[in-house]
Amino acid sequence: MAQSATTTEKRQKTALVTGCSSGIGYYAALELASKGYKVFACARRLEPMEPLKKAYPGQIIPFAMDVSSIESINKGYDFVFAELGGVASPSADAPHSVPKLDVLYNNAGQSYFPHWSLQHKVQLSLPVQSPA
């Protein structure tokens, strides 16, 4: 059975997907939007996410965020918080409201291979790929 992207109180469900410039994150954002979610799609660079915005205008909201930078994460949090209608700086006149985020798909990451790993793989493949 397909799940609806609205809650029992008829609120559109929301998702935050990191690493949306390509690959799994990019397609996860598209899939969630196709299910009716409002998707906050983030990556270090905005340009690769432009097609997401065009595919689902107003439903996929791309923004720049580098998950390796706490400053960037804080700015991203403030952006999403404001977009969802939260009050970032509570006061006596404006109590703190916490908007609901239904899905966090933390996909961002980088792969690094140690120098010795690559060297070891090359040495293993040489006898196989080189004639005797």
CA separation, residue 53 to residues 42, 59, 113 (Å) = 11, 8, 33
Domains of the chain: 14-129 (3.40.50.720)
In tens digits, what is the pLDDT along the chain, a chain of 132 residues?
456 665 556 789 999 999 999 999 999 999 999 999 999 999 999 999 999 999 999 999 999 999 999 999 999 999 999 999 875 555 555 555 667 899 999 999 766 666 656 666 666 665 544 455
Alpha helical stretches, state H, the chain: 23-34, 50-55, 70-83, 115-129
- pLDDT score of 56: 98
Q: What pLDDT score was predicted for residue 95? A: 56
